[in-house]
């Protein structure tokens, strides 16, 4: 059967622009779907750079103004891969133009912006999704299946960390490509919105909603040169954040993130302890899921390391043969596949903008708690 084209307009050609383009190019070869992404146009402000990006990835055309891209009749879906401070404006305009929207995380700069974006896509009735891609690491999806099957029993504890070490040097500037993450005006927050948002999205997906939090944050380097202004300016982001949380299901959690954990590059880990069993996962070894089951026979009881590469494991029968692992980039391909499947069936893949708003609200509560030094309920 001929596939239906889904014409993509990509905004931003940085880290995520590349990761998503790779996913659009791969998905139709590995997943049998009704829709086929077509790389119709790439958009960014620098004409030469966006042309080079378009040539590398096979986009048919370029734009330097995202408003022009959104106005184009030959574009069905807008993919937002820009820094966080422009997500809202682009998404609201895209929704008003009736475009499908795939937006990078965090959804917005804060909950207030996020709520406006949810209202915009829901009023326009446009399909939408946010790129919390770690849900689609096969081992993480497998963890979700194990939890949903009830094998853990009552959950007592959730523990997550996301550790990096790339901003320790005080000479590192803030602002501009990649480094916009250190500029609160572009990022909204530091590790909370950038890294903990991933941990929170996974946690809510696996263990349900978070009720309240108690947080602390620190900015270790208080001022940095700004790439765009050339001046030394105060740093407004949180360099590190740790918080305690209570879930609706009664379980207790700890979350920690920093860019000052010397030796760690992208160490995202989580562990869940239930009445009967525990699960642990580590991004540096992403195809493995650690599993402990107290119901195993006494002397043989212990932690198993499951190589999540079997045809029965989530997504794996689409790739190679059992035992051969896949990697980081495939999580984006899985997200595109699920999104296209959702378009075809009318059962939307998550996280939608509305789902991602829950994470935004937890981030807001975390930052508010760090400021007030009080336990803080999460807005509903
Ligand atoms: N899902 C993930 O794991 C993940 C990983 C990294 C980044 N992200 C998110 O993706 C987004 C982009 O991050 P990145 O690492 O790709 O950043 P990046 O700095 O590598 O790229 C950003 C791109 O946006 C473009 N841009 C900025 N302002 C623009 C504007 N007004 N109009 C058009 N283009 C504009 C820049 O030219 C650049 O091409 C952020 O929201 C970030 O939080 C998500």
Beta 223-225 vs 232-234: how paired, if at all? antiparallel
Tell the residue nearest (CA) to atom 23 of ligand 1.
Answer: 12
Is the Cβ–Cβ distance between 196 and 257 less than 8 Å?
yes
Cis peptide before 351 (omega within 30 of 0): yes
Cβ 104 under 6 angstroms from ligand 1:
yes
State which of 9, 16, 332 you would mutate to test the pocket of ligand 1, scoring each by most atoms of that ligand within 8 A of its C-beta. Answer: 16
Partners of 217 in the beta sheet? 241
Beta 4-11 vs 232-234: how paired, if at all? unpaired
Cβ 45 under 6 angstroms from ligand 1:
yes
Give residue 46 CA to ligand 1 midpoint distance, Å: 14
Could you write out the DSSP letters of every residue in 260-310? --TT-SSEEEEEEEESSEEEEEEGGGTTEEEEEETTS-GGG---EEEE--S
pLDDT given at position 128: 98
Closest Cα partner for 227 from 188, 181, 190? 181
From the alpha carbon of 133, which atom of ligand 1 is closest? 1
Tell the residue nearest (CA) to atom 40 of ligand 1.
Answer: 83
Non-local (6+) Cβ contacts of 17 within 8 A are: 10, 11, 42, 44, 53, 81
For residue 35, give the DSSP letter.
Answer: E
Closest Cα partner for 57 from 41, 74, 77? 41
Q: Which CATH number fits domain 4-133: 3.30.70.20, 3.40.50.300, 3.10.580.10, 3.40.50.720?
A: 3.40.50.720
Non-local (6+) Cβ contacts of 101 within 8 A are: 77, 78, 80, 91, 94, 95, 121, 126, 127, 128, 129, 353
Q: Where in the chain is the domain with CATH 3.40.50.720?
A: 4-133
Tell the residue nearest (CA) to atom 20 of ligand 1.
Answer: 14
Tell the residue nearest (CA) to atom 6 of ligand 1.
Answer: 16
Tell the residue nearest (CA) to atom 34 of ligand 1.
Answer: 44
Task: Give the helix/strand (H/E) hosting 115.
Answer: helix 111-124
Tell the residue nearest (CA) to atom 28 of ligand 1.
Answer: 82
Beta 35-43 vs 4-11: how paired, if at all? parallel
Cβ 17 under 6 angstroms from ligand 1:
yes
Cβ 105 under 6 angstroms from ligand 1:
yes
Tell the residue nearest (CA) to atom 15 of ligand 1.
Answer: 15
The pTM for the full model equals: 0.98
Q: Could you tell me how far CA 145 lies from the centroid of its own chain? A: 20
Cβ 84 under 6 angstroms from ligand 1:
yes
Cβ 12 under 6 angstroms from ligand 1:
yes
Cβ 261 under 6 angstroms from ligand 1:
no
State which of 9, 10, 11, 14 you would mutate to test the pocket of ligand 1, scoring each by most atoms of that ligand within 8 A of its C-beta. Answer: 14
Give residue 184 CA to ligand 1 midpoint distance, Å: 15
Whose tokens are 């995520």? That residue is 16
Could you write out the DSSP letters of every residue in 166-185? TT--TT--BSSTTGGGG-HH
Rounded to whole angstroms, how far apart are CA atoms 162 and 200? 11
Q: What number of CA atoms fall less than 13 Å from residue 19's CA on the CB side?
A: 18
pLDDT given at position 99: 98
Is the Cβ–Cβ distance between 352 and 130 less than 8 Å?
yes
Cβ 131 under 6 angstroms from ligand 1:
yes
**Tokens representing residue 60 in the block:** 């048919």
Tell the residue nearest (CA) to atom 3 of ligand 1.
Answer: 133
Give residue 15 CA to ligand 1 midpoint distance, Å: 7
**Tokens representing residue 377 in the block:** 């309920």
pLDDT given at position 187: 98
Question: What is the second-level CATH architecture of the domain 137-377?
Answer: 2-Layer Sandwich (3.30)
- Ranges in the chain, pLDDT < 50: none
Count of Cβ atoms closer than 10 Å to residue 342 Cβ: 17
Is residue 177 packed enough to be buried (19+ CB in 10 Å), middle (13-18) or exposed (0-12)?
Answer: exposed
Rounded to whole angstroms, how far apart are CA atoms 60 and 37? 13
For residue 193, give the DSSP letter.
Answer: I
């Amino acid at each position: 059967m001929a596939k239906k084209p889904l014409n993509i307009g990509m905004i931003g050609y940085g880290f995520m622009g590349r990761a998503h383009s790779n996913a659009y190019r791969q998905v139709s070869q590995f997943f049998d779907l009704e829709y086929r992404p077509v790389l119709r146009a790439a958009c960014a402000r620098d004409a030469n750079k966006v042309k080079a990006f378009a040539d590398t990835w096979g986009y048919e055309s370029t734009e330097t103004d995202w408003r022009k891209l959104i106005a184009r009749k030959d574009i069905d879906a807008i993919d937002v891969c820009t820094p966080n401070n422009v997500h809202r404006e682009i998404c609201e305009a895209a929704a008003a133009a009736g475009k499908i929207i795939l937006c990078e995380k965090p959804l917005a700069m804060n909950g207030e912006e996020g709520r406006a974006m949810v209202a915009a896509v829901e009023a326009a009735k446009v399909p939408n999704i946010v790129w919390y891609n770690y849900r689609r690491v096969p081992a993480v999806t497998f963890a979700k299946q194990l939890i949903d099957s009830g094998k853990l029993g009552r959950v007592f504890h959730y523990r997550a960390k996301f550790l990096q070490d790339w901003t320790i040097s005080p000479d590192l500037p803030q602002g501009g490509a990649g480094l916009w993450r250190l500029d609160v005006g572009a990022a909204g927050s530091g590790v909370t919105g950038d890294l903990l948002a991933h941990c929170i999205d996974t946690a809510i997906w696996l263990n349900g909603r978070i009720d309240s939090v108690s947080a602390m944050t620190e900015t270790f380097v208080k001022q940095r040169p700004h790439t765009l202004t050339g001046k030394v300016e105060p740093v407004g982001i949180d360099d590190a954040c740790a918080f305690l949380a209570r879930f609706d299901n009664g379980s207790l959690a700890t979350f920690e993130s920093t860019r000052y954990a010397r030796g760690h590059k992208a160490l995202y880990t989580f562990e869940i302890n239930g009445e009967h069993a525990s699960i642990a996962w580590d991004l540096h070894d992403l195809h493995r899921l650690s599993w402990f089951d107290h119901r195993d026979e006494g002397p043989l009881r212990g932690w198993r390391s499951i190589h999540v590469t079997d045809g029965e494991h989530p997504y794996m029968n689409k790739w190679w043969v059992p035992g051969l692992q896949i990697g980081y980039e495939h999580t984006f391909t899985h997200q595109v596949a699920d999104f296209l499947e959702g378009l075809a069936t009318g059962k939307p893949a998550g996280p939608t903008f509305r789902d991602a708003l829950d994470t935004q609200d937890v981030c807001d509560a975390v930052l508010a708690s760090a400021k007030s030094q009080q336990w803080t309920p999460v807005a509903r």
